[in-house]
Amino acid sequence: MPLPRTLPELRQFATRVNATKYAHIPAAAIPKPTFSDTTANGLTNAIIYDLVHVWGGAAYRINNGATYDGKKGVYRAGVTRKGIPDIIGVVGGRFIGIEVKIGTDRQSAHQREVENEITQAGGFYFIAKTYTDYAGKIAAALG
């Protein structure tokens, strides 16, 4: 099965995975996969699905943002080190850090510092702006 390079191809891949996973239920009841790369959340979900189901790796979303404390009515700073990639994973024994950027969002100084640390340690790091952008970069890295 060829590697998905676009969101429609990822949807087709996921549809085949679901058909196998849910072979015991009627086709009309099988969950229909949906993926998007128009939001950071949508792109993150598509990338994690791809890393786990297409590449057979392990991947995790890292939440670096502040958390709203409803009792106090304030935001509390996150406890994760600044600059950690949005997605971390391991595929074929290789560490991967992926920073998701949508629209005009740019890499921060902290993120550049972490990128340098990861690459110097032998890991792979890149910025993904769309699913197609991600698919090309991950294929080049793991090809």
Give the phi and the psi of residue 132 in degrees, each rounded to 5.
-65, -40
pLDDT digits (tens, 9 = 90+) for 71-110: 888 888 777 889 999 999 999 999 999 999 999 999 999 9
Of residues 111, 8, 94, the one with CA closest to residue 59: 94
- For residue 43 the two structure tokens come to 């792109």
Residue pair 60/87 in contact (Cβ under 8 Å)? The answer is yes
Is the overall model pTM greater than 0.75, yes or no? yes
Going along the chain from its start, the domains and CATH numbers come out as: 7-142 (3.40.1350.10)
pLDDT digits (tens, 9 = 90+) for 22-49: 999 998 899 899 999 999 999 999 999 9
